[in-house]
Amino acid sequence: MLEIKYHGHSCVQLTSEEHSIIIDPFISGNPQAATKLSDIRVQYILLTHGHEDHILDAVELAKQNDATIIATFELANYLGWQGAKTMALNLGGSAAFPFGRVKMTQAFHSSGMVFSEDNRIVYLGMPGGFLVTMGGKTVYHAGDTGLFGDMKMLGERHDIDVALLPIGDVFTMGPEDAQTAAEWVGAKLVVPIHYNTFPPIKQDGQAFVDSLKEKGIDGIVLKPGESTSL
């Protein structure tokens, strides 16, 4: 069995038996978060890209749990210099772990930290997404991305049980493009992410799920702190 817990924004925790991983931890900076960072127990932390709203709590969480961060080469080095245990994984690459397997997919976005106090931006590698096989299920976390044609290939090559798709628009796909992505990926269940955290990305998650049902696609809205199991 696989439990999927949504912590808000793009942060999702996957748990199967004694294994638990978290993707894009953004808890302390998210006003909608329903879970305290100190209460999260994981062995691995997966990061799709280097924006603050996806990596803010990664180092603290890694140290708190003696967990390993999995991220692109540049981002893994950047966080490793801050004292975290890291493992580099780049686009198209995959690796086996005690909980299952992780493959990093492409995404169309940007990646870097902005230090406004001295007008400086640190580039942190290419953005990506993840295909996670865990508990006998395959989960696709698209990361922050626009719609791209190779999502069709992902759906053709992989039997995806759950797709976590951004719908916020402005910085990622909006609901209309995310609906097309859901069709192409062909997941058995779609969960909207990356919306409503800030005013520019306000969306109606239930309306998106309802639009999927019109296409014969199952979807579910998870509020921060809520879970579903497969």
Structure confidence by residue, pLDDT tens digits, 17-32: 999 999 999 999 999 9
The mean pLDDT of 130-152, rounded to a whole number, is 98
CATH superfamily, domain 3-229, is Ribonuclease Z/Hydroxyacylglutathione hydrolase-like (3.60.15.10)
Contact indicator for 132, 14 with CB cutoff of 8 Å: yes
What pLDDT shows up at residue 185? 98
pLDDT in tens, 51-61: 999 999 999 99
pLDDT mean across residues, the chain = 97
The pLDDT, as a whole number, for residue 203 is: 98
- Could you tell me the pLDDT band of residue 156, with boundaries at 50, 70 and 90? very high
Provide the whole-model pTM. Answer: 0.97
pLDDT at res. 188:
97
User: Residue 180 has what pLDDT?
Assistant: 98
Confidence of residue 112 (pLDDT cuts 50, 70, 90): very high
pLDDT tier, 162 (very low <50, low <70, confident <90, very high otherwise): very high
Residue 99: what pLDDT? 97
